[in-house]
Structure 1
Amino acid sequence: MVIKAQSPAGFAEEYIVESIWNNRFPPGSILPAERELSELIGVTRTTLREVLQRLARDGWLTIQHGKPTKVNNFWETSGLNILETVARLDHDRVPQLIDNLLAVRTNISAIFIRTAFKNNPEKSLEVLTHQLTTENSADEFSELDYNIFRGFGICQR
């Protein structure tokens, strides 16, 4: 594992995340004690605590006072903020990750578009008809896509 970090905190964060990703600390396991982990990584306990708190906020870990720090199943507990990290850690599966994200987007859009037409049918139809005139370019399509999804998001209120 080669870690390129610019600060001790950055190094510790990358070390822990890559260790979770590579199953050195698998989901459901308990991290080593703070003193042991800080010595293993080569950072102060204060720096390690700061990193652990940040990773807990991102969904990688669960920290409870008086209990050992637990590694989460990050696929279930993390938000979209880890996508960049996952893409960096596993270059080979980036196409699969993109496919999964597009599938999620499709599934979610079916729900909110249905709600938009239920709550505001006239305005929803207007969103579609207003957006039908577009050029045949990637930029135009991206703008069209954005405007349609944004419009339906507004209509569902």
Structure 2
Amino acid sequence: MKKDAAPTGQDRIVRRKLSDEVFDRLRAMMASGELPPGAPMPSERDLMERFGVGRPAVREALQHMHTMGLITISHGERSRVNELSADSVLSRVDDVARMLLSSEPEQLEHLKMARRMFECGLVRVAAQAAGPHDIADLRDIVSRQRAETDDAAAFVTLDMAFHNRIAAISQNPILVATSQSLLRWLFQYHGMLLHWSGKEDVTLHEHDQIVDLLEAHDADAAVTAMQAHLDRSNMLYRHH
């Protein structure tokens, strides 16, 4: 009699942990609306009875949900379902991004390239969609930035505000959150303040030019101006 063939990697059945099953059930309850944002989570005892599992499996699943930002666990209070947004999701990878950029310096060049491609796309959208209120906001940011040339930290904060305000013109929360994350990783984790001094006037001139092109709805010229601005400013970023 012919023996059955040994199972291949694709055929092999992997036994899942009970906590993983509990996690999947709870996530499905959130997706279906049974556990909407802000709702209190069922007690551990209720979950144990509902799923027929022990306390360790429930606690491990809840801790996993807390780590992922799906729920907030407060001592002495019932855990609650978090309100998810693009920003809250992306902000949770900040620590991982910091470790990646610190342990693999070459990743900084990849990040700068990604930002260049991303912002050139954003500025094209902004040139097509910018209204008077958007232009007024951008000019106000540049004006405030011009008043902070002696305060490097304030100047850089307003620089971030300028680029994030361009992203906001898209009215796309995922694009806005991505813009904020890219800038946060670049500005927070690299000692570029030491390399910023003396470039303030050039930066302000480039910002003025970009705003003028957005107001004129000249998408091609705005992209070219943003490319030149980022190619120059990318040289300011250095590792600590």
Query: TM-score when scaled to structure 2?
Result: 0.36
Partner of 1:14: 24
- The CA deviation string for residues 72-130 of structure 1, in whole angstroms up to 9 with x for no partner, is 21328843369xxxxxxxxxxxxxxxx743443345657868xx698264xxx9xxxxx
Partner of 2:237: 154
Q: CA deviation at 1:62?
A: 1.7
Unaligned residue ranges in structure 1 (runs of 5+): 83-98, 126-147
Structure 2: how far apart are the matches of 1:77 and 1:67? 26
Partner of 1:71: 81
For residue 154 of structure 1, what is the amino acid of its counterpart?
Answer: Y
Q: Is the 8 A contact 1:119 1:156 kept in 2?
A: no
Q: Is the 8 A contact 1:119 1:155 kept in 2?
A: no
Pair 1:58 & 2:141 matched: no
Partner of 2:177: 104
RMSD between aligned residues: 4.3
Q: Is the 8 A contact 1:58 1:78 kept in 2?
A: no
Relative distance call for 1:110 and 1:12 in structure 2 (3 A) is closer
Structure 1: how far apart are the matches of 2:58 and 2:47? 8
Partner of 1:119: 196
Count residues with an aligned counterpart. Answer: 113
Pair 1:39 & 2:53 matched: no
Q: Is the 8 A contact 2:87 2:174 kept in 1?
A: no
- The CA deviation string for residues 8-57 of structure 1, in whole angstroms up to 9 with x for no partner, is 11111111112112211111111122111122123211110111112112
SS in 1 for 2:237: helix
Work out the percentage of aligned pairs sharing the same amino acid: 23
For residue 105 of structure 1, what is the amino acid of its counterpart?
Answer: T
Q: Is the 8 A contact 2:87 2:178 kept in 1?
A: no
RCO comparison, higher one (Cα < 8 Å, 6+)? 2
SS in 2 for 1:79: helix
Structure 2: how far apart are the matches of 1:32 and 1:16? 10
Pair 1:23 & 2:33 matched: yes
For residue 174 of structure 2, what is the amino acid of its counterpart?
Answer: L
Relative distance call for 1:29 and 1:77 in structure 2 (3 A) is farther
Unaligned residue ranges in structure 2 (runs of 5+): 1-14, 94-171, 204-230
Structure 1: how far apart are the matches of 2:236 and 2:34? 42
For residue 22 of structure 2, what is the amino acid of its counterpart?
Answer: A
Higher gyration radius (CA): 2
Structure 2: how far apart are the matches of 1:153 and 1:48? 49
